[in-house]
């Protein structure tokens, strides 16, 4: 019984931590505002975390006053999550979260004058 309690605690920890994934998003322009799925996360760089299942997609939009916005996409299929794989083996459900985001994403932002593109 004494060895069963630590095993259950370890399995519960793996199960709970295997659900979320996070990444740092950086823009080449420190003044560019960063939005992920329409939600503002920072200027120049920001932190994004979610509990979406594997292969879920996200849209990054970089904006700056007077410039055309730039859009990028990333998916939750970039790295394997060992904790979720072990939890999935034990409980089957965490297999939906066996993949994570990379630690960081860096995007180029080139300011294209918004007024010139309208003409």
Encode pLDDT of 13-25 as tens digits. 555 555 778 899 9
pLDDT score of 119 more than 50: no
* 118 assigned to some structural domain: no
Residue 35: CATH number of its domain:
2.60.40
Number of Cβ within 10 Å of residue 25's Cβ equals 24
Of the spans 3-7, 31-35, 73-77, 97-101, which averages the highest pLDDT?
31-35
31 domain-assigned: yes
Residue 2 belongs to a domain: no
- Asked, for residue 6, whether it belongs to a domain, the answer is no
Residue 70 lies in a domain: yes
Q: What is the tens place of the pLDDT at every residue in 84-117?
A: 666 666 665 555 566 677 778 788 888 888 766 5
Sequence-distant contacts of 58-61: CB under 8 A, at least 24 apart = 60/25, 60/34, 60/35, 60/36, 60/105, 60/107, 61/34, 61/35, 61/36
> What digits encode the pLDDT tens for the residues 42-66?
999 999 998 887 788 899 999 999 9
* 4: in domain: no
Condensed to tens digits (0 to 9), the pLDDT of residues 4-14 reads 777 666 666 55
The answer to the question of residue 117 being in a domain is no
How many distinct structural domains can be found in the chain?
1
**Which residues span the domain enclosing 50?**
11-112
For residue 3, being part of any structural domain is answered with no
């Amino acid at each position: 019984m004494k060895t069963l309690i630590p095993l259950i605690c370890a399995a519960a920890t793996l199960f709970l931590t295997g659900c979320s994934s996070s990444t740092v998003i950086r823009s080449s322009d420190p003044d560019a505002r960063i939005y992920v799925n329409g939600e503002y996360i920072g200027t120049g760089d920001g932190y994004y975390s979610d509990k979406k299942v594997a292969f879920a997609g996200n849209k990054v939009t970089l904006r700056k006053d007077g410039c055309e916005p730039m859009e990028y996409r990333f998916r939750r299929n970039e790295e394997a999550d060992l904790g979720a794989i072990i939890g999935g083996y034990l409980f089957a459900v965490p297999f939906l979260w066996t993949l994570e985001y990379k630690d960081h994403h860096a995007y180029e932002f080139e300011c294209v004058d918004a007024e010139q593109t309208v003409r």
